[in-house]
Structure 1
Amino acid sequence: MNTFSRGQKGKLAELGVGSSFPVEVDISAAGFSADVSCFGLDGSDRLSDDRYMVFYNQLASPGDAVRLELSGGKARFNINLDALPGTIAKLVFVAAIDGAQTMRSLGASSLSVGSALRFPWSGADFGDEKAVIVAEIYRRDGQWRFGAVGQGFNGGLSALLKHFGGTEAAPAQSAAPAALQSAPAAAPAAAPAAPRVSLSKVTLEKRGDKVSLDKRGSAGFGRIHVNLNWNQSGNVAPAPAPVPEKTGLLGRLSGAISGATGGRRRSGGIDLDLGCMFELADGRKGLVQALGNAWGDYNGAPYIKLDADDRTGSSSNGENLWINGDQFAQIRRAIIFSFIYEGVPNWSATDGVVTIAVPNQAPIEVRLDQGGSQMMCAIAMIENQGGQLQVTKMVEYFEQQGRTSAHELMDRRFGFGLRWKTGLKD
């Protein structure tokens, strides 16, 4: 693999890179988060088509020319240059930080293009900037090239947006941040307006923090996406030695062995599972999770459906749950939870985050912070409050007590009143 330094450039073809390849950005940001984005620019270095800005609030461009997968501190852009229109001449990869931290707070980070090249960089390369253009892939003389940039910005992602042709509106008086609006036009009236891109997201910082959303459509909230992602690299902090013979969830829940998990405990790696307990408006209560094949139903009750479970814990898309927001009137509440199905319990090493994305609304982010060696975390409560969708950060952890499972203890805490028994994934 070729190692590039700041300012170095090269032709992709000469580096052995074809038209389809991954670009991975690995950022070391201990205790805070850095958002990674890709701007698809025209020949004038302007974001003339907002559909080619790919970031946490828009994970893919038209035709999947650029598709983003997020996992812990890593971002993977799957690039298909052949799917880009002729109007897109450059792909710019950027990182931005919210809050009090600056770029100098970052540890050793890097951007790589497949197995062809790697551009290492770190906070030592910057000062108090809030954002940085890491690298770019651009078309010149009919050939695609790579350039290692490393240029800092003081104003964060909104400053980068303005630099490439957009600006941010003043925040509205609501729980969620306002969307972006086009920049004031200095050009003649016939010139196209700057693109409208929403960079807004809501991060619930403290336990008990909440946000309420109103319906944007006549039917309801649309297709609601709940995503759980975490650090799946296996680079976790040391944890207590595993108890002999008790592997996977069965051993953790009840102490029963019976070889039920096949002894599948990975060394270091952690497999988190996503699920929810629900209560419908008519009083029915239940559970949606991979354990016991309780997958749920999107079109019928409970109007909540879990995606296929990632048995390996290696999927960069994490775990996903879908809520039928057009049937939200049928749902009274749902507690979103995660449990460690395999691996030594060590929440501090997971860097876990749940994102609740409601169409045409700012995504809501809840981080799984402050945990220890427990196996279960109640992450967030989604409630129907007079037709509004209210999300509250819970992040409460539970550990088995005697023969009472963590699932049951969580149930008691939130009063669902379900009946529990030990279960397995097939």
Structure 2
Amino acid sequence: MNLFARGQKGKLADLGCGTAFTVEVAIQAPGMSVDVSCFGLDASERLSDDRYMVFYNQLASPEGAVRLDLAGGAARFAVDLERLPATIAKLVFVAAIDGAQTMRALGACSLNLGSAVRFPWSGADFGDEKAVIVGELYRRDGTWRFGAVGQGFNGGLSALLAHFGGTEAAPAPAPASPAAPPPAPAQPKVSLSKVTLEKRGDKVSLDKRAGRGFGRIHVNLNWNQSVSAAPQPPQPQAKTGFFDKLIGGGLGGLGGAARKGRGGIDLDLGCMYELADGRRGLVQALGNAWGDFEREPFIRLDADDRTGAAAGGENLYINGERFDQIRRALIFSFIYEGVPNWAATDGVVTISAPEQAPIEVRLDGGGNQMMCAIALIENRGGSLQVTKLAEYFQQQGGTSAHELMDRHFGFGLRWKTGTKG
């Protein structure tokens, strides 16, 4: 692997890199919220087409030449340069902090270009900047090249968007009167917004994309995994990866935390579902009921975090292209290991769908119960409605918290004691 320093450049062909590869941006940022994005620029280095900003609220370019995967411990962009239109001359990879912190607070970070290039950088390279232009792929004389930039930028993600000539979506205007002429077609705008459901019962609805379904719906659960059962002697803080703890307005709040099974809390993500034909079931790690994305129930729990080794928390995926076959899905979490203490978990669920603003639901109530019903996803006449529940349940005698939650929401499942496989 070629080790690059700031300012170093090279032709991809000379570096042993083809035209299809992964760009991985890994960031250590304890207690911070960081967004990683890719800007597709024209020959004038402008974001002349907002569809070529790939980030948490727009996970792919129109033809799929750049796709962002946020399911693991880093931001991974699958890049296929041959699929890019001739109008795109440069791909710029950036990171921006949301909140009061600045780039100097970052730990060890890196950008990896497949197995061909590694560009290490850290917060020690910066001062009070809120963003960094990490690296770029650019076309010159018909040849694609890579440059390790590492340039600090004072503004956050919105300022970066404006810097590259993009436009941020404004709040929807009031409906026009019937007599008003229809507005002229406009260039699509990038929405940097995020919807946070603050109170129990708050709702938000998503409409299908024109001529398509909802795409791949990603439900992520993250929390403060360092909460322990009792005071422990000081230990070296375990280093964790990107998107370790989702907080604030960004895609990936980052935090160093002890892993599950080492004195911390183990939260498990699960889902009760009801299909359009009335059949009901359960998706969760207990009992190895992982579900299926392509076939019924069109809901799949990611098995990668069964041991707590992954940094991206718990992840569940709903097939939004088959959402017409789903009536409702109850997203829940339970404390599988550790002393019940919801207030200390600082848990948050983020529900993301392509071309839609992410929806955030915080687990900001409860006490020492084992179970939390977090959110209800419903099919309402073809629209996808998300409701914040924040209902907590504790086992009563021989009746489990799972069963009590089931009774409360009327799924009618049969319960027995289960274990992780």
The two structures have a TM-score, normalised by structure 2, of 0.68
Q: Give the corresponding residue for 2:26.
A: 24
Q: Give the corresponding residue for 1:267.
A: 262
Query: SS at 1:161's partner residue?
Result: helix
CA distance in 1, matches of 2:37, 2:139: 22
Offset, 1:194? 6.0
Aligned counterpart for 1:113 among listed residues 102, 108, 111: 111
Query: SS at 2:418's partner residue?
Result: coil
Offset, 1:382? 1.8
Question: Cα distance 1:200–1:281, how it changes in 2: closer, same or farther (>3 A)?
Answer: same
Structure 2: gaps (5+ residues): 175-183, 233-259
Name the % identity. Answer: 51
Kindly indicate whether the alpha-carbon contact (under 8 Å) linking 1:54 and 1:68 is maintained by their aligned counterparts in 2.
no
Q: Give the corresponding residue for 2:390.
A: 395
Offset, 1:225? 1.3
The two structures have a TM-score, normalised by structure 1, of 0.67
Q: Which residue identity lines up with residue 53 of structure 2 in the other structure?
A: M
Q: Which residue identity lines up with residue 203 of structure 2 in the other structure?
A: K
Which range is displaced more, 353-362 or 103-112? 103-112
Q: Give the corresponding residue for 2:303.
A: 309
Aligned pairs, number: 368
CA distance in 1, matches of 2:329, 2:227: 32
CA distance in 1, matches of 2:83, 2:339: 43
1:171 aligned onto 2:163: no
Kindly indicate whether the alpha-carbon contact (under 8 Å) linking 2:273 and 2:281 is maintained by their aligned counterparts in 1.
yes
Q: Give the corresponding residue for 2:56.
A: 56
CA distance in 1, matches of 2:205, 2:401: 29
Q: Which residue identity lines up with residue 217 of structure 2 in the other structure?
A: H
Kindly indicate whether the alpha-carbon contact (under 8 Å) linking 1:38 and 1:93 is maintained by their aligned counterparts in 2.
yes
Residue deviations 1:30-54, cap 9 Å, x none? 5xx4433222334422124545422
1:135 aligned onto 2:128: no
Matches for 1:209-248 after TM superposition, within 5 Å: 209-216=202-209, 221-223=213-215, 225-230=217-222, 236-240=226-230
Structure 1: gaps (5+ residues): 175-183, 185-192, 243-264
Kindly indicate whether the alpha-carbon contact (under 8 Å) linking 1:366 and 1:379 is maintained by their aligned counterparts in 2.
yes
Question: Cα distance 1:40–1:312, how it changes in 2: closer, same or farther (>3 A)?
Answer: farther
Offset, 1:212? 2.3
Question: Cα distance 1:408–1:106, how it changes in 2: closer, same or farther (>3 A)?
Answer: farther
CA distance in 1, matches of 2:377, 2:294: 19
Matches for 1:142-181 after TM superposition, within 5 Å: 143-153=145-155, 156-172=156-172
1:95 aligned onto 2:88: no
Q: Which residue identity lines up with residue 25 of structure 1 in the other structure?
A: I
Query: SS at 1:171's partner residue?
Result: coil
Kindly indicate whether the alpha-carbon contact (under 8 Å) linking 1:377 and 1:397 is maintained by their aligned counterparts in 2.
yes
CA distance in 1, matches of 2:15, 2:37: 21
Matches for 1:324-343 after TM superposition, within 5 Å: 326=322, 328=324, 331-341=326-336
CA distance in 1, matches of 2:264, 2:59: 26
Kindly indicate whether the alpha-carbon contact (under 8 Å) linking 1:36 and 1:96 is maintained by their aligned counterparts in 2.
no
Offset, 1:306? 1.6
CA distance in 2, matches of 1:308, 1:365: 19
Kindly indicate whether the alpha-carbon contact (under 8 Å) linking 2:37 and 2:55 is maintained by their aligned counterparts in 1.
yes
CA distance in 2, matches of 1:51, 1:316: 29
Q: Which residue identity lines up with residue 402 of structure 2 in the other structure?
A: H
CA distance in 2, matches of 1:161, 1:151: 12
CA distance in 2, matches of 1:49, 1:344: 50
Question: Cα distance 1:157–1:403, how it changes in 2: closer, same or farther (>3 A)?
Answer: same
